[in-house]
Amino acid sequence: MTGTPKRIFNSASVPPEKCVFCKIVRGDLPSDKVYEDERYIAFLDINPFSKGHTLVCPKAHGETIWDMKEHEIGELFMTASRVSKAVVEATGADGFRFVQNNGEAANQVVAHVHVHVIPIGLQQKGKVMDRLKFPDQEMKDTAEKIRASLTR
């Protein structure tokens, strides 16, 4: 690709100091964190499509995947792959989805690059998934199971 890519519209655009995910990275907002290293973090989605739905994102602020270098994109998806194995093991899922939205038109709600790791059961095959809400303790228990799977 040559030249500068078109800017992707996102009405949720904010500077890093106001970004919800940057606040989670800094520890200014709570999260059910399941993984963290020097460059990436993973935590449970607060409005998940399924139990264990996890978000994996770079700690560095960038709105879309176009804001990342190619090796960073690779690292992000390698991290998401590692997290997906733990999510599937911890939830007993039959499969999983990676979803990575860029821009409002693609349903990106938080303007910070992230990959959704969504565990799926066979009973959900072909069905439209709605956002869910789980009690705080259930979220904490799920996060603990994912963390335990990651350490094996």
Which tokens in the block code for residue 6? Answer: 């078109």
CA distance 45 to 29: 13
Is 114 in the active site?
Answer: yes
Largest CA distance in the chain: 49
Q: Of 98, 85, 92, 83, nearest to 35 (Cα)?
A: 83
From 53, 61, 112, 114, the catalytic residue: 114
Report angle CA 22, 23, 26 to the nearest 5 degrees: 85
CB distance 16 to 61 below 8 Å: yes
> Which residues participate in catalysis according to the annotation?
114
